[in-house]
Amino acid sequence: MRTPSQSLLSWSALLCASGLLSSLFSVGVAVKENDFKKCHQSGFCKRNRDYADKAIAQGSSWQAPYKILPTEASFKNGLFHATILKSIDDKGSTVELPLTVSFHKSGTARVTIDEKQRQEKNIELRHNSQARKERYNEAETWAIVGGTTVDVDAKGSYSGDSGIKIQYGPNSTFEADIKYDPYSIEFKRDGYAQLKLNDRGLINLEHWRPKVEKPVAEEKKDDGENAEEKKEEFPAEPEGEDESTWWDETFGGNTDSKPRGPESVALDITFFGYDHVYGIPEHAGPLSLKETRGGDDAYTEPYRLYNSDVFEYILDSPMTLYGAIPLMQAHSKDSTVAVFWLNAAETWIDITKAKESKNPLALGKGPKIDTQTHWISEAGVMDLFIFLGPTPSDVSKAFGELTGTTAMPQEFSIGYHQCRWNYVSDDDVKEVDRKMDRHQIPYDVIWLDIEYTEEKKYFTWDKDMFKDPISMGQQLDAHGRKLVVIIDPHIKNIGSYPVIDELKANSLAIKNKEGRDFDGWCWPGSSMWIDCFNPSAIKWWKSLFKYNRFKGTMENTWLWNDMNEPSVFNGPEVTMPKDNLHYGSWEHRDVHNINGMTFHNATYQALLSRKKGELRRPFVLTRSFYAGSQRVGAMWTGDNQANWEHLGASIPMILNQGVSGFPFAGADVGGFFGNPEPELQSRWYQAGAFYPFFRGHAHIDARRREPYLLAEPYRTIVASALRLRYSLMPSWYTAFHQAHRDGSPIIRPMYWTHPSSEGGFSIDNQFFLGSTGILVKPVVSRGKTIEDIYIPDDEAYYNYFTYQQLPTKKGKTLKVDAPIESIPVLMRGGHIFPRRDIPRRSVQLMKFDDYTLIVVVSKDGTAEGQLYADDGDSFDYQKGEYIHRTFKLEGSKLTSTDAEGRDAKYIKRGDWLKNMQDVAVDKIIIVGAPSFWADKKEVKLETEGKQSIVKLEYIKGAANQGPFATVGRVGAKIGADWTIDFT
């Protein structure tokens, strides 16, 4: 019998085939929570939660049945090897689990546990499966790019047969205390316990076992007409274990054949003295993660990571969304540590908080709250990395070293993107472009959703509606603008379509469990999915993007990858069957959460090779992601709704991306489903102007809402938000560069910038922009005209627009007027940030404009900041072709010097640097300028061996404006050293 959800899915497939699917997603249809599993419906999650309950119920008499054999343990050259024995019955039977703990020069430690019998492929697969026998151990080939050089200087000292202590990290201040029986590892910093693996004894690796076919009892159910024989299974062996989902599992009418039987890995990790944990995106909930089993305001479900197409997702929920980064940071006053759980299978994480720290030495001070976590993954090796901080930026840096940092973006891509599903024709695109100009609204990119194709066949154009894509691209190019087109991973399975023919002929599609090309339903109807784990598939994918193959695209065409979880309309939980097979015969179950990243990566690679000799930074937006996706593009938070709650939710979600290593993030501005009222739309643009990725997008059924369609005053309000974004572009680009260099978030939550300001640890609706000192709190409620901003320190704070110094107090909130035409934006004293103040149509047209510097004087009269600039397009910055300045106000001098101490003489000059030679600092605004400058009219400028006099104007301030000074027509070259002397 078909379940209701099955019939719905095939109905949707039918609708989809006839091009009507959009109506299924029409406004007001919220996500069907029941289409996605809860923990008790996911066999391995339930088993591990039950296991935890039993263990916890036994209290101190519980001992995990896992121990290290001392005779087989060794530590040498930064590597600890041992075998963990798992007892599996009362008769002394054990299974061997090889353990490696490695200590890295980067300061991270890695703990990997495999299963010998599977490693040796000494198992039998059921159902004639062609899957691999080992536990998946290739996640690192996708996620890890560095930071794993082993620290051969790590020192070990054995404590008899009970364990070993290993000192590592900076000045050997880190320690791993490995206990043998039961197995556990406690990590310490400066002698204090920070976190412990298997603290509560919940470790569980479901070892391989053959399915014991039970005798079958036959019984007659009834004697009626429909009498049927019922096969009753005898109880499982060993007694007490819940075998019901070991060998197959059915959900929503789909059965997973599980050829390898149960194979989950689970571990508990306790963070001692830490009462906040952050990370593990993607979820729509608060930045400071909630408890999931008991506690105030707790969720009842664990956080789930199983990349899924969850349209119109619910808020304040641990439910899975489109992407997964299994990095969790634990934070308490002055200390941050983290764990990265490198696993690509379906994963659940329970969080509880123990009110009293078991370890009185934890941090030695402060409240003693332990955060206890329980990580449960369906398959794969157990593999995790430990970071001991001590600061949030140390963790971001180390995670960046490990998984890579955000790619230097195409500069245009941090401008504003205008999207909707769909701009219907090339004329439509041209008209929107003209209207944006007519209304003097800056933008950089216009997007084409799936309807531009001929019947959802990617790499084709709907010939009736897009008659001349090149002329469309050329019109955009005239003002430096770009086009982004969507290409999804499902390929229409239809005749006379070369792309599907090639996919099939070269066997590059993901296979079903029988090893044949998997066919499922998505936008085009019957489809197949490219398997980007296969190097040959990437090679082929590259060939499709060449300009002479994907005709109609040109140098200003860039890419959008959607539906790459992957979304399969008629698949289990709207995705692929777990027993599908990928390259290397890995089951989809093993690699699911990495799948989206492999597709994103293939498109990135393809854009690098569109034309021989053309080496430009690709721009590719993805919906699905994993740790490492930051290296190849941007992400957005998927199908949100046009309501205030979703606007509010976007901020913690984007902040969470930032602290989880993938900061190039945004949410659909205006809300995807529905029609925002003008106030909501305006507030959303004001917030969006501070998203690292800033794109307006709308569902096909939503009304047109390009900013120029708004009535006044809203049109002006939105245009001003956009201009604010554009004027701050140099600061955004500098923040991106910093993220690229050291993994730091682009917009930063309070705990990250002020790790000792406890009042800020739960705050996730305000943030700093890079290191500019610009503090933003977008308004996310209807009718709100006053905002409370939390002030994390003792510094001076000024209103961004009026320069007024505000009556702030450390640790208290400040009331800021926020009428609809204004955004609550403050400037923190002590920073200098760059702007470009001439309003223009696009980023490219601002490329060689002069700069304005804003100097925001701190309480002690100093300020410091940076500018990074390069051609915003090529990889020449890797050869040193960039400008990177440090500006400093100290005493009476303001200076600009090379941020890296490079001598200008030795910097190789290409075209971009040559063009920048005449670009200058035009204006300097000194906010909080000392009042004794009031009579000053001029100051001395010294640059390039010459001295000159430049004008200073001091403005005393008025009721609605603070005092400030401007130095006008400075004329010092942006790339040169200079000093301004204010004496």
- DSSP code string of 378-393: SSS-EEEEEE--SSHH
Question: Which residue lies nearer to ligand NOJ by CB, 385 or 619?
Answer: 619
Start-to-end Cα distance in the chain: 87
Q: Quick check: 972 and 946 in contact, CB under 8 A? A: no
Question: Which residue lies nearer to ligand NOJ by CB, 383 or 565?
Answer: 565
Question: Which residue lies nearer to ligand NOJ by CB, 340 or 447?
Answer: 447
In the complex, least distance from residue 482 CB atom to ligand NOJ, rounded to whole angstroms: 18
Question: Which residue lies nearer to ligand NOJ by CB, 13 or 806?
Answer: 13
- Give which of 178, 204, 198 is closest to 372, Cα–Cα: 198
Question: Which residue lies nearer to ligand NOJ by CB, 450 or 500?
Answer: 450
Q: Where are the alpha helices (DSSP H) in 320-447?
A: 392-403, 426-438
Residue 301 neighbours by CB distance under 10 Å: 18
In the complex, least distance from residue 839 CB atom to ligand NOJ, rounded to whole angstroms: 29
Q: Quick check: 415 and 442 in contact, CB under 8 A? A: yes
In the complex, least distance from residue 843 CB atom to ligand NOJ, rounded to whole angstroms: 23
**Phi, psi (rounded to 5 degrees) for 327:** -110, 125
In the complex, least distance from residue 320 CB atom to ligand NOJ, rounded to whole angstroms: 15
Could you give the C-alpha distances from 13 to 20, 312, 314, in angstroms and in order?
Answer: 10, 19, 24
Question: Which residue lies nearer to ligand NOJ by CB, 376 or 563?
Answer: 563
Residue 188, both tokens: 């310490």
Using the Cα atoms of residue 872, residue 874, residue 878 and residue 882 in order, give the sign of their dihedral: negative
Residue 915, both tokens: 């063009």
In the complex, least distance from residue 523 CB atom to ligand NOJ, rounded to whole angstroms: 7
Residue 818 neighbours by CB distance under 10 Å: 21
Question: Which residue lies nearer to ligand NOJ by CB, 22 or 966?
Answer: 22
Using the Cα atoms of residue 268, residue 270, residue 275 and residue 280 in order, give the sign of their dihedral: negative
Residues marked active site are found at 562, 565, 639
- Sequence-distant (6+) residues with CB within 8 A of 848 are 915, 916, 918, 919
**Phi, psi (rounded to 5 degrees) for 925:** -110, 125
Distance CA 187, CA 190 (A): 10
**Phi, psi (rounded to 5 degrees) for 270:** -105, 135
In the complex, least distance from residue 432 CB atom to ligand NOJ, rounded to whole angstroms: 16
Distance CA 57, CA 59 (A): 5
Question: Which residue lies nearer to ligand NOJ by CB, 639 or 881?
Answer: 639
Question: Which residue lies nearer to ligand NOJ by CB, 623 or 777?
Answer: 623
Q: Quick check: 957 and 804 in contact, CB under 8 A? A: yes
Q: Quick check: 922 and 854 in contact, CB under 8 A? A: no
- Sequence-distant (6+) residues with CB within 8 A of 545 are 553, 603, 606, 607, 609, 610
- Give which of 311, 277, 316 is closest to 653, Cα–Cα: 316
Question: Which residue lies nearer to ligand NOJ by CB, 154 or 485?
Answer: 485
Question: Which residue lies nearer to ligand NOJ by CB, 639 or 850?
Answer: 639
In the complex, least distance from residue 562 CB atom to ligand NOJ, rounded to whole angstroms: 5
In the complex, least distance from residue 16 CB atom to ligand NOJ, rounded to whole angstroms: 11
Torsion-angle region of residue 515: left (phi > 0), alpha (psi -120 to 50) or beta? left
In the complex, least distance from residue 919 CB atom to ligand NOJ, rounded to whole angstroms: 38
Place of tokens 């960039």: 882
In the complex, least distance from residue 486 CB atom to ligand NOJ, rounded to whole angstroms: 6
Question: Which residue lies nearer to ligand NOJ by CB, 488 or 590?
Answer: 488
In the complex, least distance from residue 697 CB atom to ligand NOJ, rounded to whole angstroms: 6
Q: Is 889 helix (H, G, I), strand (E, B) or coil?
A: strand
Q: Which residue is nearest to ligand NOJ (CB)?
A: 421
In the complex, least distance from residue 637 CB atom to ligand NOJ, rounded to whole angstroms: 9
- Give which of 664, 583, 673, 676 is closest to 622, Cα–Cα: 664
Distance CA 649, CA 666 (A): 12
Question: Which residue lies nearer to ligand NOJ by CB, 275 or 312?
Answer: 312
- Sequence-distant (6+) residues with CB within 8 A of 609 are 542, 545, 546
Strand duo 946-955 + 938-943: pairing: antiparallel
In the complex, least distance from residue 698 CB atom to ligand NOJ, rounded to whole angstroms: 8
Binding site for ligand NOJ (CB under 6 A): 421, 449-450, 486, 562, 623, 638-639, 672, 697
Q: Quick check: 553 and 544 in contact, CB under 8 A? A: no
- DSSP code string of 736-802: HHHHHHH---SEE-HHHH-TT-GGGTT--S-EEETTTTEEE----STT--EEEEE--SSS-EEETTT
Distance CA 504, CA 579 (A): 20
Is the omega angle on the peptide bond into residue 713 within 30 degrees of 0, that is, cis? yes
